[in-house]
Structure 1
């Protein structure tokens, strides 16, 4: 007889700090994470935009309750709006050191990644050597770029608004006549 035995081991719990604290609010009490500034310190914490980063910063500020309610003794038991029970004061103690930037690092990371990609080169890549033609300065070919000039003159002659530029080029170059340009156009 054969028997099949299945042994199930308990799954390992991730070793993540789950320190929590209770904080009272007007509506009751709620539980929030003790790691409110992960968006600044943790490199694996990702926010998709500057708007989300700002929202995380506001939530961290509110969770750490840097706003303090200080009672006003003269109007402590008042229910009137213009005689408030307490004043809100901003606590100057900041848990984040001043040398840590609170700015969104998204654009900086994109620029760094682009620079990283641009600076890495393929080791097998070799720059091709440029070989220049013999300029033939002996007079054998006095107009080595004549084809480019012909194309430019043909292009300029097709646009009537550029006729004055065409005449100026023709005078400067001095090699094509108006009759030659018309024969080129009619080809």
Structure 2
């Protein structure tokens, strides 16, 4: 019995199962798009995951997960947005078009009004550099070669949607 799989099948499956976002400018994204029926069925039947294909990126979604990485990143992103807002910066423009210094981000988080929350999410023990490296491996940011600056990818939009959903649910509960 032979198994016919699309080109780069192993790499696509491996990347997605590791929590990596596959971005539109990658070859794997094109294959996922062309073979979306195959991959949607494959991930659903094999792992119980939903393959989500969006205009700019693809990722896996699981209904029963306690994935802490996404939660921690959403908290950090929220703190950064709060601090940038206090500085009067255009957050959307900053995220979409800005380049960020690792040192700047670390300083901003450590000196934030919410630095106690930053400490609670245990990021200090692993270090911001390690956390940013994981964000880079998951295609949420792109670190430059020096590892001193980075830019966000379109995948960050998903985390803003997640934060908005949490806020909407909280407001709905308060208004009940």
TM beyond 0.5: no
TM-score bucket of the superposed structures, by smaller chain? under 0.3
Relative contact order (alpha carbons < 8 A, sep ≥ 6): 1 or 2 greater? 2
TM-score if structure 2 supplies the norm length?
A: 0.21
Q: Which has the larger radius of gyration?
A: 1
